[in-house]
A and B are shown apart, each in its own frame.
Chain A
Amino acid sequence: EVQLLQSGGGLVQPGGSLRLSCAASGFTFSSYAMTWVRQTPGKGLEWVSAISGSGGNIYYADSVKGRFTTSRDNSKNMVYLQMYSLTAEDSAVYYCAKNRHEGAATYDSWGQGALVTVSS
């Protein structure tokens, strides 16, 4: 059974940093791209970033480019989202998700979500 277990959310001040983690199990982790999606009541679901199975290709939404860094450790079955220079607009529930396969940006398993609140 595929499982994605997230950790690392919380309250952070504007301009601060936070790292989200996602521990994967139940599938051959290195064979699948992984994606971060965030959700807010106002903007709905928003694609944030994706990383290929090898980690060699990483993509970002324009809204986070230059501030967020996605990485993965295939030896630990982990994917990370490092967030810098956070603003109130980054407040959201962040989900990690498994791509259905390397070439398809559709997500067949999701983590439970991590709430990030950016506030002073």
Chain B
Amino acid sequence: GAGVSQSPRYKVTKRGQDVALRCDPISGHVSLYWYRQALGQGPEFLTYFNYEAQQDKSGLPNDRFSAERPEGSISTLTIQRTEQRDSAMYRCASSAKHPGLAGPDTQYFGPGTRLTVL
């Protein structure tokens, strides 16, 4: 596609429910990143993938959060047993270059999913 897309754009759920957020990166992009952005703050790193391999999940807040990218393209961020503190904008970004290669690369961000947990 032309850019990174995310769905749903808005999600309202009740506390205790599971939610799955989807990211469709730019076609052919190697790396995919998930961020969480609270109001008034910059994006906070959650996890990232190179192809289908999850390289770093150190930013995931706890074990209720998980992510996968089984075929190296679309990724899903799942939050189990949601809590009110999970409410935030969840952003996905993709980049063309494998981070292990020399030289920087640019991440392109999706529009985000606004999650509200009641």
Do A and B make up one complex?
no
Q: Which residues of A contact B (CB under 8 A)?
A: none
